[in-house]
Chains A and B, each alone.
Chain A
Amino acid sequence: MDSSNDEALDIIVTNVVATFRTRCHLNLRTIALEGTNVIYKPEVGKVLMKLRKPMITASIWSSGKIICTGATSEDEAKLGARRLARCLQKLGFKVRFSAFKVVNVLAVCSMPFAVHLIDFTKNNRPIASYEPELHPAATYRIKNLKATIQVFSTGSLTVTGPNVQNVATAVEQVYPLLFECQKPLCK
């Protein structure tokens, strides 16, 4: 789907964050004592449960809200969330899997060229911002996609967005802009 050129850019999704609800109160102490692979954090009031198969870590609150992180795809996140809910159900809670929502997707991508960040920022004000003293990357926010892209001078990108589709679209959108500001050319 790279309309700009024929090469394919590898967008690697590194993290998918999702939330869901169990619609019932959860006794964290019971989960902590009986559950397997759990870390109890009473000071914060949550239990971390780690799953191996989809490698995910879930933060479980007593209200029944669960945040599931570490998955590498949206489907995996859902699968992991359901497994988790099943786990809690086995512990004895009347769990109802509801309100599953992927909240955040983090992906990395690498341009085959280096980018001149100052030019890139100049060309794309105010969408792009660059504060080298604060952070070595230029930040490009696409409002309609609600995606944020961080561009590094080496040409590496990290993209965060509400779902994988948005992320892919964001990369495509920003590619031509970056292409203009390639280091060997712009300099």
Chain B
Amino acid sequence: MAESICRALRDGALEGELAPALTIKDSVASPFGVQVLDHVLSQFFSCILAGKSPSRGLIVVSFSRSPSFYFELLKIKGISVDSSDKRIHILDCYNDPLGWKDRLAETGNFRAPSHEASILRGGKIRFSIAIDSVDEMLRHASVSSVARLLSNLRSHDQISSIFWLLHSDLHTGRVTSVLEYLSSMVASLEPSIELANGQRGDMENFSLIEHNSKKGKFHVRFKKRNGRVRVMSEEVHIEQSGINFTSLSTEGAINHGLVPKVQFNLQLSEKERIDKANVVLPFEHQGNGKPIEIYDGRRSLVNSKHERPVAAVENVQTNEDSSWGEIIYYRDSDDEMPDSDEDPDDDLDI
């Protein structure tokens, strides 16, 4: 599934469409966003190098890590590039985001947009952009200006795809929704076991935290062209060498809320099944060879076991379980043979 993301990014945009945009979203409970970003970045870049993508180069806007980190990363993944390679360009917003060195800083205005604009002015070459961390951008600029930048990038002819990382805990819900609104794919990382709120420091949960620090769930929502949303899930494992995606071990029920609430209960719980088996039905033959004696209020049975006063007529059957369910049965007439096969409606004259 990480491959499908890379494929979507690689294929870029069709004519007249906005460039595909990916949001990688993580949280404190499953903080693997950077690993996922590194994975996607290196995979995507190797696609670019192999010429499989209409995009000829990658611009990495690095806010939270220094540019040299990315060269190291690519080297580790087996892709060796040097800084003069035309196919990758790292916009260094890590070292001096507000441009103090150049004294260009106005409040809230920072270098990344102007840098990107200048690169893009050059010709017909198509690029992709990776933004290290949108959180840093949002520190320095308002949501609407970041949103405008991202949507302008998406609609620019030269951009073939764009992806960014977001730590959802650092922002209000609205900011996360804005970024999800602007993207065509949302990849979110969730812990494989949910921790109860407010129990972080508890020793019992320590093993859970430890478990969550190595594994997690990876959900992706793709907004497809036909207006449908495709949801995929995988498990993610972090190892020394990198990150591994495996398909979900149990088919997690993603849509719990879908089974409609019906007014009748289609499934019985275990207790209900036992209770049901214990109820004695008011038929005179239970199918087990013995006739059942049913008290019918007229004391017409010979072997009446119930010698209660007439007033207390409620308890006509003894059920083995002491549940409150009762079946009250009054026989129509004594002359009737037990369990006769006659249809009582036969004497209707229709």
Question: Are chains A and B native binding partners rather than an unrelated pairing?
Answer: no
Residues of B within 8 A of A (CB): none
